């Protein structure tokens, strides 16, 4: 084969690092592996029948909607369904504020394009969702960590961090207030109001990333930052909300949405025109049919019950590990965040875990700065109850091997 020329890459892509979580995928092919690693919905809980019916209706009743290009903002039918979904979640949004995105991941990418320049600094929870860190870094933007605890973003710490900084120093704060990836934490009401007050005082926007909020299996719902912004003086217009059907219907649809103030939404639409013109209209119409038929409302309780059972099983099993492992019990979502005690490093435990045929994600991937070497993330979403028991027995052996 001929020798390849030397390619000249954009600076951010000269030596990029890929997703640390994707690196773990190679272990998944190890026979008999039990994975607590990915945030993957369990195949057994996909609403195959509801989606098959929605697909059939989409193509029969709206073949042109499915097969033709669509408006960049999304199919009107889907936008209306998502507007109604947001209303059920307690947020009144105008259609003009809502656009469909190709997963909520694209929403984040569009916002970075539209709102940030290289050298900007963005506040993120510490730890946070790795793809956000990656997207910021590839855009030349510096993520700046804010402390978190078992209840999510520590607004007191944020207030201290912001004291002395001039307003506007940080353009944005990115957070996952409901059942965060990776911590599983849910931000209490008082902290939500405090965060909105800080956004007003220090002149920054908040990206509220909410793919997991509907997966609450314990405790009472807390209103979104989007819904609360009008209660805090100066905070209205400071929240951009991202959500997705990935975790509640199917990631394969690649249907997410953004609710943003109109000037931001309009610019994101223009940015999206050069990315994919529109989210697959076929997938959008299937999603719209699925929502219009009330299938999500019917299926969600099943899903939530499934997650509750899995979370309880995993928490009970982890409690049996005793002092070796400390964690906070989540009230929803897919993740348990914990720390090995006694100076045990998550990377050392990982090596032993792979040898025992069980996977988790060492905490390192979730830090933009100095990682906590003892932290790790476990997901209870994908394995069934028997596999959770087996996987935890293997984890116990991995601890013992250390």
With respect to ligand PMP, which residue has the nearer C-beta, 72 or 183? 183
Query: Hunting for tokens 């009330």 — which residue is that?
Result: 294
Question: What gap in Å lies between CA 3 and CA 17, rounded to an integer?
Answer: 25
Among the listed ranges 56-64, 98-106, 118-126, 373-381, the one in contact with ligand PMP (CB under 6 A) is 98-106
**366 contributes a contact to ligand PMP by CB under 6 A:** no
Question: Torsions phi, psi of 163, nearest 5?
Answer: -60, 135
Tell me 76's DSSP state. Answer: H
Would you tell me the crossing angle of helices 295-319 and 281-292 to the nearest 10 degrees? 90
Shortest Å distance, C-beta 174 to ligand PMP: 9
Distance CA 391, CA 24 (A): 16
How many residues touch ligand PMP (CB under 6 A)? 13
151-190 residues in contact with ligand PMP (CB under 6 A) are 176, 181
Tell me which residue has tokens 């607004």: 155
Among 50, 103, 281, 368, binds ligand PMP (CB under 6 A): 103
By beta-carbon proximity to ligand PMP, the closer residue of 177 and 306 is 177
Contact pick of 35, 72, 81, 105 for ligand PMP (by CB under 6 A): 105
Of the pair 232, 381, the CB lying nearest ligand PMP is at: 381
Residue 71, burial from CB neighbour count under 10 angstroms (0-12, 13-18, 19+): middle
Can residue 256 be called a binding residue for ligand PMP (CB under 6 A)? yes
Work out whether 211 is an interface residue with ligand PMP (CB under 6 A): yes
Residue 164 half-sphere exposure toward CB, CA atoms < 13 A: 3
Q: How far is the CB of 129 from ligand PMP (least distance, A)?
A: 4
Q: How far is the CB of 242 from ligand PMP (least distance, A)?
A: 7
CA nearest to 135, candidates 120, 154, 153, 155:
120
Hey, how many other C-beta atoms are within 10 angstroms of the C-beta on 31? Answer: 5
- With CB under 6 A as the contact rule, the residue among 73, 194, 208, 209 that binds ligand PMP is 209
Residues contributing to the site for ligand PMP (CB under 6 A): 39, 103-105, 129, 176, 181, 209, 211, 244, 246, 251, 256
């Amino acid at each position: 084969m001929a020798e390849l020329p030397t390619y000249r890459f954009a600076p951010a892509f000269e030596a990029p690092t890929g997703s640390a979580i994707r690196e773990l995928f190679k272990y998944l092919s190890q026979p008999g592996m039990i994975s607590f690693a990915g945030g993957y919905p369990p195949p057994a809980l996909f609403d195959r029948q509801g989606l098959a019916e929605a697909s059939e209706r989409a193509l029969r009743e709206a073949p042109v909607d499915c097969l033709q290009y669509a408006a960049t903002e999304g199919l009107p039918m889907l936008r209306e369904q998502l507007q109604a979904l947001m209303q059920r979640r307690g947020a009144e949004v105008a259609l003009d504020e809502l656009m469909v995105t190709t997963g909520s991941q694209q929403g984040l990418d569009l916002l970075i394009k539209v709102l940030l320049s290289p050298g900007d600094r963005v506040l993120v929870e510490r730890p946070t969702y790795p793809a956000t860190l990656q997207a910021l870094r590839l855009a030349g933007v510096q993520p700046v960590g804010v402390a978190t605890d078992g209840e999510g973003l520590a607004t007191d710490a944020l207030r201290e961090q912001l004291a002395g900084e001039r307003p506007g120093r940080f353009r944005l704060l990115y957070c996952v207030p409901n059942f965060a990836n990776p911590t599983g934490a849910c931000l209490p009401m008082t902290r939500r109001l405090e965060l909105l007050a800080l956004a007003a005082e220090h002149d920054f926007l908040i990206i509220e990333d909410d793919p997991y909020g509907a997966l609450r299996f314990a405790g009472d719902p807390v209103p979104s930052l989007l819904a609360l912004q009008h209660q805090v003086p100066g905070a209205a217009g400071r929240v951009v909300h991202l959500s997705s059907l990935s975790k509640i219907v199917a990631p394969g649809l690649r249907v997410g949405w953004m609710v943003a103030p109109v000037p931001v939404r309009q610019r994101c639409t223009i940015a999206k025109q050069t990315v994919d013109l529109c989210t697959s209209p076929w997938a959008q119409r299937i999603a719209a049919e699925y929502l219009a038929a009330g299938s999500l409302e019917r299926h969600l309780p099943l899903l939530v019950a499934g997650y509750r059972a899995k979370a309880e099983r995993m928490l009970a099993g982890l409690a049996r590990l005793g002092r070796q492992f400390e964690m906070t019990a989540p009230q929803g979502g897919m993740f348990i965040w914990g720390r090995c005690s006694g100076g045990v490093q998550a990377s050392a435990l990982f090596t032993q875990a792979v040898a025992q045929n069980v996977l988790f994600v060492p905490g390192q991937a979730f830090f933009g700065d100095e990682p906590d070497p003892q932290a790790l993330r476990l997901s209870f979403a994908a394995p069934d109850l028997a596999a959770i028991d087996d996987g935890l027995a293997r984890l116990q052996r991995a601890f013992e091997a250390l």
